[in-house]
Amino acid sequence: MNKLFRTLFFMLVVRPLVLVVLGLNVRRKALLPEKGPAVIIANHNSHLDTLALMSLFPISMLPRLRPVAAMDYFMTNPWLSWFALNIIGIIPLQRKVKAGSSDPLAGAVAALENGDILILFPEGSRGEPEQLGQFKTGVAHLVKRCPEVPVIPVYLHGLGMVLPKGEFILVPFFCDVFIGESLDWQGDRNLFMQRMTSAMDALAVEGGFPPWE
């Protein structure tokens, strides 16, 4: 039943909202993975970022799309928790790890081993509209454990103006999506972080927008 609700939500609500009401101008959509395992990384400025990224894939791939989100953001509300886990398909991530606690990346690693496509935001949380925050190393730790998995950078522009952090009223604004070549693990965390940041900066420059305004 949850699978049916999830499909209907994306067909009747998400896709019309993102693709029709707002509209996405997508560059190089062919670079998106046709199957998992894979990791999609993107900048994060809006409540709608996750839904916009998921709408880029066919409905048939919906069961394989697994956004990763901080557990403390939605687990305190039982209704929001149910919706996030069962309709959006989120993998909860524990941000504050204490000694002796369970492996915070276990769910993400298991999903990749299952052939899923993860959606991650290296900044960790939503930033100010169209401004890039510093990337955290969580993605690098994950890819180190799954070195054969491709990482595809995606730059989103405009969604931070549609529904930015702290706002709940949607403002129609045409959005752009730039998809880059996949990154692979080359054995060094710092090198991977540099390549990830450079890839995102290059996609932003390609759009001809003022840098992270």
Bigger pLDDT: 180 vs 98: 180
E strand or H helix at 75: none
Q: Are 160 and 45 in contact (CB under 8 A)?
A: yes
Compute the distance between CA of residue 213 and CA of residue 52 in angstroms, rounded to an integer. 20
Using CA atoms, how far apart are residues 156 and 200, in angstroms rounded to an integer? 10
Contacts 24+ apart (CB under 8 A), 15-20: 15/55, 15/59, 17/51, 18/48, 18/51, 18/52, 18/55, 19/55
Out of 13-17, 92-96, 130-134, 140-144, give the one with best mean pLDDT. Answer: 140-144
What is the arithmetic mean of pLDDT over 29-53? 92
Please name the residue that has the structure tokens 């998992």.
36
Strand partners, 93: 70
Q: How confident is the model at residue 117 (pLDDT cuts 50, 70, 90)?
A: very high
Dihedral in degrees, nearest 10, Cα atoms 13, 14, 20, 25: 180
Residue 37 has pLDDT above 90, yes or no: yes
- 45-84 pLDDT per residue, tens: 788 899 999 999 999 999 999 999 877 666 677 888 888 8
Cβ count near 126 (within 10 Å): 20
Q: Does position 31 have pLDDT exceeding 70, yes or no?
A: yes
The CA-atom distances, in angstroms, between 149 and each of 28, 59, 69, 153, 207 are 20, 22, 19, 13, 27
Cα→Cα distances 129→107, 132, 156, 164, Å? 30, 9, 11, 6
Q: Of 166, 174, 120, nearest to 143 (Cα)?
A: 120
Residues of the chain with pLDDT > 70, as a percent, come to: 84
Domains and CATH numbers, the chain: 2-206 (3.40.1130.10)
How far apart, in Å, do the first and last CA atoms of the chain sit?
Answer: 43
From CA 91, how far away is CA 93, in angstroms rounded?
6
pLDDT over 60 at 212, yes or no: no
Helix spans in the chain (H): 2-9, 15, 49-54, 71-74, 78-83, 106-113, 138-145, 159-162, 189-206
One-letter amino acid for residue 185 of the chain: W
